[in-house]
Amino acid sequence: MMKKVGAFCAAVLIGLCCAACSGGGETVLGEPINQPQGEQAEETVSLSVYLPAQYADPTVHYPIYEKLMDYQEAHPNLTLEFISPKGVNYMEEREAMISQLNAEILSGGGPDLFIMEGYRTTEINLFPDIEKAMVNGTFLDLTEAMEKQGLSREEDFYTAVLDAGQWEGRQYILPLGFSVPLMISAADVLNASSFSLQRAMYSMDSLLTELLRIHEEQPILVITSIDPLDVLAQPVLDYEAHQVRLDTSAVRRALELEKIFRTGDIAYDLARGLFNDTNPAQVQDEFAEGVPFAALRYSRFSINLLRQCQALGIELSVMPIPNEEGTITAKIGSYAMGNRNTKYPEEVADLLLYLVSEECQSAAAYADYNQLPIRKGCMQACFDAQYQFSIYDASRERMTEEGIAERQERHGVPLDEARIKQLEIICDQVTAAHYQTIWYRGVDLGQSETGENVASYLHMQYWNDEISLDELIEILSSKMRLYLDE
């Protein structure tokens, strides 16, 4: 273990200190392409694509929509029909569409393929537990299609992330983008403290314990928006082993530390409220001076802070938050899969593999933002594309010079080559990946007597000292075993 951790620290030190909720929308139809004329014209294939309304809006130039339109244009005998449920402002209509789609899928129908966003804004979602859906045989097997294209797990992709879409050695889900947990601090502030990188890089437990030690020396505040259970390499709900793994030393310690960092004196949000990393003045006047001392966030929520600090000339210390094994656990954002019942398996597989091509990954073509691409070698182009979209592309026909300037102020400047290289080094250390948290989305344990999600309700009871850690684990384990056996 020490040899592995030492190598990991060396890799990270190379890069250390280098200088919107879904909106409303109707179902969107792709414009049909004229068929070839003549008796030999091929029959047009129409594929229905599940894509959240935010990304399927043709007036907002999301990269995923534009690349799908490029694909349709390059395939004259193919049309795409977008099935796009409305967002959180239309809950009744959204729930009705999701319920209808679930019924269609259960009866052997439904969309031909699905492109999912990682940031779930409601509990009314198609396939809330994506792994359970995969285990239950819902999705198209893509293994042979990947082999036919000559794709290599090790050479072309971040392997551990790709493998999270496998069941019994077969590929059913294609992760498109992911995040990694990061700790970001102003370098001058961190270096002036007694923070020990060597101790912190051993495990998440060691890192958080190191921050608590410093907190005893000086009144530091820390933003903690990660879910420590997601940071662990071990799955809490292990479908492969058919086990609930809540009562382990790693899980117990993670839950204890999460409670301290979310409810104790070290919690930034309790003392100061929300931290706005789109406000250059707050970043310059507070973050650069060590308030907060550190931000523990997934990279998806950290990229804008990195851009802001680069624009302001603030030197940063950026390190990954290690799992219990001393390596990195990724959290998958956007992902795509085919319907096992599709009438066009070859066409669906071709389109899905197009989404993990260098072209699409370099364009950040997935239903999410500020994600890391699963395809190796695309990081720089991907982040350039994401920045371009953030500053210029959204509703670009209506963008004014003033609007562009305001976006530039909020989003800083593109990440430089050194920072991109550091992120690539971190991604090379990913050994595990998860799709969802058990607390809010994915695991449906029913509702409490007052109507709350049972898992999140128990979680809050533990934070509020209404139940003990032993009680939390015992109650949850019992309910999750029943869920696993369903």
pLDDT tens, position by position, 129-176: 899 999 999 999 999 999 999 999 899 999 999 999 999 999 999 999
How high is the pLDDT of residue 175? 97
pLDDT, average across residues 342-352: 97
Cis, bond preceding 63 (omega within 30 deg of 0): no
Distances (CA, A) of 471 to 177, 178, 274: 36, 33, 31
pLDDT value, residue 86:
80
φ and ψ at residue 281, rounded to 5 degrees = -65, -40
pLDDT value at 40 more than 70 = no
Any idea which of 2-6, 133-137, 140-144, 449-453 has the lowest mean pLDDT?
A: 2-6
Are the CB atoms for 182 and 299 separated by under 8 Å?
Answer: yes
Bridging pattern class, strands 78-83 and 316-320: unpaired
Q: Is the pLDDT of residue 17 over 60?
A: no
Four-point Cα dihedral 133, 139, 142, 144, nearest 10 = 110
Q: What is the pLDDT of residues 269-290, one digit of tens each?
A: 999 999 999 999 999 999 999 9
Average pLDDT value over all residues in the chain: 89
Q: Are 13 and 197 in contact (CB under 8 A)?
A: yes
**Which of 368, 362, 392 minimizes the C-alpha distance to 380?**
362
In this predicted structure, what is the pLDDT of residue 443?
Answer: 81
**Which of 45, 61, 47, 164 is closest to 115 using CA atoms?**
47
What confidence tens digit (pLDDT) does each residue in 196-216 have? 999 999 999 999 999 999 999
Spatial strand order in the sheet of 372-373: 372-373, 177-179, 328-332, 430-434
Cα separation, 116 vs 95, in Å, equals 16
pLDDT of residue 25: 40
pLDDT of residue 15: 43
Give residue 27's pLDDT.
Answer: 42
Distances (CA, A) of 395 to 58, 59, 398, 399: 9, 6, 6, 7
Tokens in use for 23? 């909106």
Q: How would residue 244 be classed by pLDDT, with cut points 50, 70 and 90?
A: very high
Mean of the pLDDT values across residues 78-107? 88
The Cβ of residue 61 has, within 10 Å, a number of other Cβ atoms equal to 17
What tokens appear for 341 in the block?
């019942």
* DSSP assignment letter at 43: P
Structure tokens at 70: 């490029």
Distance separating alpha carbons of residues 459 and 280, to the nearest angstrom: 35
| Residue 309 structure tokens | 């600090």
Q: Cβ of 87: how many Cβ atoms within 10 Å?
A: 20
Per-residue pLDDT band at 123 (split at 50, 70, 90): low
Closest by CA position to 476, among listed 252, 263, 278, 171: 252
Answer whether residue 120 shows pLDDT above 80: no
**pLDDT higher than 80, residue 398:** no
**pLDDT score, position 165:** 96
Angle between helices 2-15 and 417-427 (to 10 degrees): 160
pLDDT the model gives residue 59: 85
Flag the least confident range among 252-256, 293-297, 330-334, 451-455. 451-455
pTM of the model: 0.89
Backbone torsions φ then ψ of 238, nearest 5 degrees? -100, 100
Question: What would the DSSP string read from start to end of 367-431?
Answer: SSSSPEESBTT-HHHHHHHHHHIIIIITTGGG--HHHHHHHHHHH-----HHHHHHHHHHHTTEE
